[in-house]
Structures are given as structure tokens and as C-alpha cells.
Amino acid sequence: MPRRVGLNAYTITFKPVRSRSGPAEFARGGAFDAYAHVHSFLDARRDQLVRLGQTNLTGQDNLAEARALRITRVNPRSNEGVLEGIVEAGEAGTKNDIVDLRTGTTSYAKSVHDADLPPFYFRFAFPDNQKRGLLVLQRLGLHGAKGPLVVELKKFFREQDVTCEVDPVLSRHALERYLAGGSVKEVRLRAWKQTTDNRQLMRRARFGGDSLSEGTEMEVTIAPRSPSEALTDRVRRIMSNESQLRTLVSIPGLPDPEEALVEVTHPTHGRKRFSILSPDQAGIAEDVTDRVNIIGGHPEFRSISQEAKRLSEELAEVLY
């Protein structure tokens, strides 16, 4: 069974260090041509091995930081403001054998200097007259290229006195598909602001003989004994901004919760815990395994490109 293929999306913004205004607005051929800058970044690294972290793999150096990347394909579409391609990324630092599972024999003895650089798809999109671009990155199982690619991208812009910020973003459709395939195991509600109604209850509450002082953080955990479709649906509505967090539960003595952590189990993605109010930070990848062609264990370029375009268009409806 092939490893799962996922797509993660991020917004990308740029701000000149000396600018007193917010992020720069994109304009091809204008004051800040994000498309041209990123195109130059990719071209300069095409077919070049770029080392990050420790590059001198000798002696007592920290080999765990010896990461590398290489851009092997760039497809520019200037009329759309899109740059897509393939980046190979990985790290050295571990010594182990590569074994042929058919025969049980060692095919190769990997040294601490060797790095496996699997290929990953990427897609940058910079619409004119916007301040936020979109970056879509492919994952394969637990592995991806975000770390080394973003580190190198920020370094490139820092040398031009430009701050580059890359933040996760999650489409509503991706969130609904994720929750539809999983189930909410528990919700943790947190509150730390006191209200008139609950001050008396707080004064009577004791912990180790001491009363709970004002400002004490309170937490209530809701954990159904069996999967609850109703709870999962309420969580989905809150995360989709269809209802307010305070409508999820009403508990005497607990002020309106200001934070809520939800734990979801999913047959493919395993168990994740994240904030209901900040689902973008959950690191949920859109699973596209069944919608792409797998060749040699990796998604074929055209099919993964189509899925990335679809995801970008879903997000563009919300962002622009």
C-alpha cells in the first residue's frame, strides 16, 4: 500500500524591512513583483544542491541539522502568476542499512553523510493587486519539504531586506472532509476570566484546602464514551464560523470559554489535537492519494498539479 499523499496550503506575504506600511501588494513589473522574485529564487537553485544547517559533516558536528534541497523542475505560467515544480528535500545524519525486502539482503550501507532526497511538488501563486500569495506543498506520509524550502526562501528575501512570512491556511472543504472521515474524542474548554455569576462558586471551590483565587484558569473536558455525531457536527460548525464557541456547551460556574482544544481520531491521519478557534494551525493535510496517479511511490506531476490547482481555487474564494 503506497504512503498517503497530502497537500498543505500556506499564505505567503512579503514586507520590505524599511517600509512602515503592511505587506507589499503584488504587481508584475511593478514596485514589488513577487512572481519575478520567487522565479529568480527557484531558477538560482535549479539542479543545484543547497545545504542548510551543518554543511561540514566531520568530527563532532551536529549531523542532525544537515538538511539539503534541490529544485529539479520549474513550470512558470506568468499569465496566471503561478510557479509550480518539484523540489527534492531531505537530511543526512543517520547511519543505517538499506534492505531489499524481497530478499532480506542489504542493498546499500547508508553513512551519516548520505541524505535521501525524495521529490515533492510545490505551487506558488501570486495574483496581481493582492497582498497574500498561496503556497501549496505536497507531503508523502510523514515527510515533506516545507522546512528546508521555507528556511531557504526566507534567507533569500532577508538578503534583499524583505521579511517573508509563511502561515498555514485550511480550506473549509478540506476541514469538512477531514471531520467527515474522523470522530471527535474529546473537547477541552478553557476559561480564565471571572464573571459575576461564577465568583461565588469560585470562592467556595477548594483545591488542597485553598480557595481558588480570581484569575485561576479553569478547564472542563467533554469526552463521550462512544463516538458522537452531534458533537462532531457542533465542532465542525464552530470551526467553519457557522456558530459561536459559547453555543457548544453551558456549564454552571464556567465562564464563556476562551479556548477550546479538540481531539480527533482519523483512520488515515491518526490522532490530532488542535484549537477549534485556530484550525489552520492543526497541520491537516488534504489527502489526495486516491485522486492522483502513483508512479514509483510518488504522485505523477500532472495529476498532483490538478489537485493543487483545485485546492488553490477553493482557498482563493475565501482569501480574495
Instruction: Map 195-219 to HEC letters.
Output: CHHHHHHHHHCEECCEECCCCCCEE
Per the model's pLDDT, the better-predicted residue between 256 and 55 turns out to be 256
Q: What is the pLDDT of residue 253?
A: 62
Q: Does the pLDDT at position 197 exceed 50? A: yes
Nearest to 51 by CA among 113, 124, 119, 135: 113
Instruction: Please state which of the ranges 88-102, 129-143, 237-251, 296-310 shows the lowest mean pLDDT.
Output: 237-251
At residue 114, does pLDDT exceed 90? no
Q: What is the full DSSP assignment across 4-36? A: PEEEEEEEEEEEETT-SSSSPPP-TTSS--HHH
Buried b (16+ CB within 10 A) or exposed e, 56-87: ebeeeeebeebbbbbbebbebeeeebbbbbbb
Mean pLDDT computed over 3-26: 89
Contact 125, 150 (CB under 8 A): no
CB-CB contact of 48 with 68 (8 Å):
no
Whether the per-residue pLDDT at 151 is higher than 60: the answer is yes
| Predicted local confidence at residue 59, as pLDDT | 47
Query: Within a 10 A sphere around the Cβ of 195, how many other Cβ atoms?
Result: 12
Half-sphere exposure of 297 (CA within 13 A, CB side): 5
Q: What is the mean pLDDT of residues 178-185?
A: 77
Q: What is the pLDDT of residue 242?
A: 55
Region 215-241: what's the mean pLDDT?
72
CA 278 distance to own-chain centroid: 12
pTM of the model: 0.79
Q: How confident is the model at residue 97 (pLDDT cuts 50, 70, 90)?
A: confident
Reported confidence tier of residue 98, pLDDT bands at 50, 70, 90: confident
Q: What's the angle, vertex CA 95, arms to CA 92 and CA 98, rounded to 5?
A: 100
